[in-house]
Amino acid sequence: MKVVIAGGAGSLGRQIAARLAERGDEVVVLTRSPSAASPHRQVAWDGRTVGPWAGELEGAAVINLAGALVDRRPTEANIELLRSSRVEPTRTLVTASAQLAEPPNVWLQASTLAIYGDAGERVLDESAPPAAEPAQMAGVARPWEEAAAGAPTDRLVVMRTGIVLARGTPALDRLARLTRWGLGGKLGSGRQWVSWIHLADFLAAVDAFLDDARFSGVVHVTSPNPVRNAELMAAVRKVLHRPAAPPAPAAAVRLGAVLLRTDPALALTGRRCVPGVLQGSRFDFRFTEILPALEDLLAHGSRRPTPAGSWTAP
């Protein structure tokens, strides 16, 4: 099939594009800065106005990943950037699609499990209601999803995704770097839940959403087994052969976040999410436990590409 990826120039978008090309799909990447070095066909757009690029959507599958990186200080200006960089391109895609004789046949809309805010001990599946805050999490994710709600398509799949663990991504690189520096202890209380998914399973889920008409609406794209922060950090230390490290109190995390120009809430809040829809289908996770997932990604010599997970068509 023809698949148009908005936001396909980011690290996750590049992984998706490579996977789709590998399986024989025609990949088109909408980007503000086309590059001759890209292995995929690129089409220029500004994410705000409907232009000649809109014709690429005709009868295609759409994957909308557009949005600025969340790894930044939660200032008012940055929160507005996170919101507008997601909502504006989504609205533009919806407007462009509505003008076509043959709108997209399936639409995969990126979203985040951070829509549930700091959820404590509750186990959350797709039936859980979104939270109202924090502003940089739920306050961004809710209007992002709302902007896609009117998309003219046969199927809209809203991918509320956990932390995607993959080589070369900011989240995993930062965890590994801090642990190698001897700072791999639990953060804050260490009891906050981390919902995660290995890249191989994420890519397999994208395959399933594109090909299987059973998938529609909100889907949690996350491992069946979220872990507490203390367990995650212990697993990273074990894989990297580092000794136990002192914990970082919440105050130290907040101070460190200022120095690293990031958001302490990314580390100090948590969500215990489960993939109810995927588990109810015949989706086969390759990595359901955190230690094997990290061993595959971080262990010495594990630089070969991990085969994508699989799913069984109906």
Within-domain flag for 173: yes
Q: Which domain holds residue 120?
A: 2-304
In a domain? residue 314 = no
Of the CA atoms within 13 Å of residue 217, those in its CB half-sphere come to 7
Angle (nearest 5°) at CA 256 between 253 and 261? 120
- For the chain, the domain total comes to 1
Q: Is 311 helix (H, G, I), strand (E, B) or coil?
A: strand
Give the per-residue pLDDT at 63: 98
Q: Residue 307 has what pLDDT?
A: 55
**Whose structure tokens read 């906050």?**
192
Q: What is the pLDDT of residue 155?
A: 97
Residue 313 lies in a domain: no
Output the pTM of the full model: 0.94
Residue 36 lies in a domain: yes
Q: Is residue 312 part of a domain?
A: no
Residue 43 included in any domain:
yes
Mean of pLDDT over the chain: 94
CATH of the domain at 254: 3.40.50.720
List the chain pLDDT tens, one digit each, 314 residues: 999 999 988 889 999 999 999 999 999 999 998 888 899 999 999 999 999 999 999 999 999 999 999 999 999 999 999 999 999 999 999 999 999 999 999 999 999 999 999 999 999 999 999 999 999 999 999 999 999 998 999 999 999 999 999 998 888 998 999 999 999 999 999 999 999 999 999 999 999 999 999 999 999 999 999 999 999 999 999 999 999 999 999 999 999 999 989 999 999 999 999 999 999 998 999 999 999 999 999 986 555 455 555 555 55
Q: Is residue 136 part of a domain?
A: yes
Q: What pLDDT, on a 0 to 100 scale, did the predictor assign at position 310? A: 57
Q: What is the pLDDT of residues 172-220, one digit of tens each?
A: 998 999 999 999 999 999 999 999 999 999 999 999 999 999 999 999 9
- The answer to whether 67 and 82 have CB atoms below 8 angstroms apart is yes
Q: Tell me whether residue 251 is in a domain.
A: yes
Provide the terminal-to-terminal Cα distance of the chain, rounded to the nearest Å. Answer: 18
Q: How many helices (H) and strands (E) does the chain have?
A: 10, 15
Tell me the chain's radius of gyration from C-alpha atoms.
19
Q: Are strands 283-284 and 310-311 parallel, antiparallel or unpaired?
A: antiparallel
